[in-house]
């Protein structure tokens, strides 16, 4: 049966995190000749990197001065004859393509709008554009020589915001250094710093691909073996995880459980000598909610039992025993949803009030007893709202 939480397993909609991707030209799509050596092979005593990071060169990249004036100012600043400055700079400014990144651009263009940014003098970019046609296929290219400012300054990034298609929250920015990426992030772009070509390509492909088909394939490949893997490599047969999968997909062929049981333990199969836990409210709540064909009498009997294990303030305890008294807000979320789904929400108002206070005061920020992050708490809170839309928000 399809899940009540949304689309069925086989009809899930496609999804992508980003509509746009921005690549830096410098050191991402192309590498400077300086990447191999910061010194000129003709004048090894000169540091070309220093010349190309001087104030005159930055002014030339911003098109505030022309090439001749740039050469003259650099020569004067470093006390170098102009003809040598020109020779050194001509040797240091050529840019070589990074094939993996250009191939990635073409791949992404099938489903994304791809942009480029760079600190590049106008003549250098025109030369690149003639040699590499992929630059002509981009949605837009933002250059320091057009904007009159360089990365990482915010004036440069503000010009990106003037482009209607570039919504920062839907745009991935791939930068060559942390300064540029921090500026991009400060305006809402999702930025990553590239330190390795292969790793960056893999990461971008992962972030820009549709995760749903990959997730579906994983579930099919590992059907009935969707177990917890511990840090030591050993696996635990976790009934709770199985029922979560069923709750979302509605596909019982993916999971393994004992249909004869009227009460579910957290771990199924052969008991572990290291992990022995009494039945808990969370596994039973999510399992009985997800198992649509289970006799409702069994479900109501389970709710009756849950109500017998509450703490001194009436909040549902995590375990169905008085020998292990615990409370966990994340576990309580599932149980309140379970009671509301079957018309008995009025019997767990103390637990509901507690959850409401946790949400209102953001007490979930560091996770809860059995869940170390806030993400899962918020996911189950959204599930509670779906199961009980009449609850206060």
Given this model, what pLDDT does residue 389 score? 86
For residue 11, pLDDT beyond 60: no
Mean pLDDT for 153-176 is: 94
Given this model, what pLDDT does residue 2 score? 37
Q: How confident is the model at residue 193 (pLDDT cuts 50, 70, 90)?
A: very high
Given this model, what pLDDT does residue 10 score? 55
Q: What is the pLDDT of residues 197-227, one digit of tens each?
A: 999 999 999 999 888 888 889 999 999 999 8
Given this model, what pLDDT does residue 393 score? 56
Given this model, what pLDDT does residue 114 score? 97
pTM over the 0.75 mark: no
Given this model, what pLDDT does residue 7 score? 47
> Bigger pLDDT: 33 or 226?
226
For residue 323, pLDDT beyond 60: yes
Given this model, what pLDDT does residue 267 score? 87
Lowest-confidence pick of 14-18, 61-65, 270-274: 270-274
For residue 3, pLDDT beyond 70: no
Q: Please write down the HEC assignment for all residues of the chain.
A: CCCCCCCCHHHCCCCCCCCEEEEECECCCEEEHHHCCCECCCCCCCEHHHHCCCHHHHHHHCCCCCHHHHHHHHHHHHCCCHHHHHHHHHHHCCEEECHHHHHHHHHHCCCCEEEEEECCCHHHHHHHHHHCHHHHHCCEEEEHHHHCCCCCCHHHHHHHHCCCCCCHHHEEEEECCHHHHHHHHHCCCEEEECCCHHHHHHHHHHHHCCHHHHHHHHHHHCCCCCCEECCCCCEECEHHHHHHHHHHHCCHHHCCCCCCCCCCCCECCCCCCCCCCCCEHHHHHHHHHHCCCCCHHHHHHHHHHHHCCECCCCCECCECCCCCCCCCHHHHHHHHHHHHHCCCHHHHHHHHHHHHHHHHCCCCCCCECCECCHHHHHHHHHHHHHHCCCCCC
For residue 95, pLDDT beyond 70: yes
Given this model, what pLDDT does residue 35 score? 53
For residue 151, pLDDT beyond 90: yes
Mean pLDDT for 93-121 is: 94
As a whole number of angstroms, the distance between CA 63 and CA 294 comes to 73
Given this model, what pLDDT does residue 274 score? 60
């Amino acid at each position: 049966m399809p899940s009540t939480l949304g689309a069925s397993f086989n009809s899930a909609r496609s999804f992508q995190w980003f509509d746009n991707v921005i690549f830096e030209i410098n050191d991402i799509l192309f590498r400077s000749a300086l990447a191999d050596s910061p010194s000129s092979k003709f004048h090894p005593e000169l540091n070309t990197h220093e010349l190309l990071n001087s104030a005159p060169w930055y002014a030339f990249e911003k098109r505030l001065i022309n090439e001749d004036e740039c050469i003259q100012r650099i020569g004067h600043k470093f006390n170098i004859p102009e003809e040598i400055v020109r020779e050194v700079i001509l040797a240091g400014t050529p840019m070589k393509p990074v094939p993996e990144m250009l191939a990635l651009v073409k791949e992404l263009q099938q489903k994304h709008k791809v942009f480029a940014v760079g600190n590049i003098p106008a003549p250098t970019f025109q030369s690149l554009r003639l040699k590499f046609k992929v630059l002509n296929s981009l949605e837009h290219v933002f250059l320091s020589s057009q904007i009159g400012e360089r990365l990482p300054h915010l004036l440069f990034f503000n010009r990106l915001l003037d482009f209607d298609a570039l919504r920062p929250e839907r745009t991935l920015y791939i930068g060559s250094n942390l300064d540029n990426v921090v500026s991009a992030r400060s305006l809402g772009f999702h930025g990553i710093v590239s330190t390795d070509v292969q790793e960056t390509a893999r990461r971008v492909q992962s972030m820009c691909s549709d995760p749903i088909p990959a997730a579906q394939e994983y579930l099919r490949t590992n059907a009935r073996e969707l177990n917890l893997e511990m840090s030591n490599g050993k696996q635990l047969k976790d009934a709770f995880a199985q029922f979560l999968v069923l709750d979302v997909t509605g596909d019982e062929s993916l999971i393994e459980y004992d249909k004869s049981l009227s009460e579910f333990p957290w771990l199924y199969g052969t008991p572990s000598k290291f992990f022995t836990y009494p039945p808990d409210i969370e596994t039973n709540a999510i399992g009985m909610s997800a198992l649509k064909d289970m006799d409702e009498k069994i479900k109501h009997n389970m709710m009756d039992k849950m109500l017998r294990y509450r703490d001194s303030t009436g909040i549902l305890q995590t375990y169905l025993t008085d020998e292990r008294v615990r409370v966990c807000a994340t576990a309580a979320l599932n149980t309140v949803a379970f009671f509301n789904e079957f018309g008995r929400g009025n019997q767990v108002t103390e637990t509901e009030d507690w959850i409401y206070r946790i949400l209102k005061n953001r007490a979930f920020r560091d996770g809860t007893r059995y869940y170390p992050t806030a993400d899962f708490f918020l996911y189950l809170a959204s599930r509670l709202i779906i199961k009980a839309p009449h609850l206060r928000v």
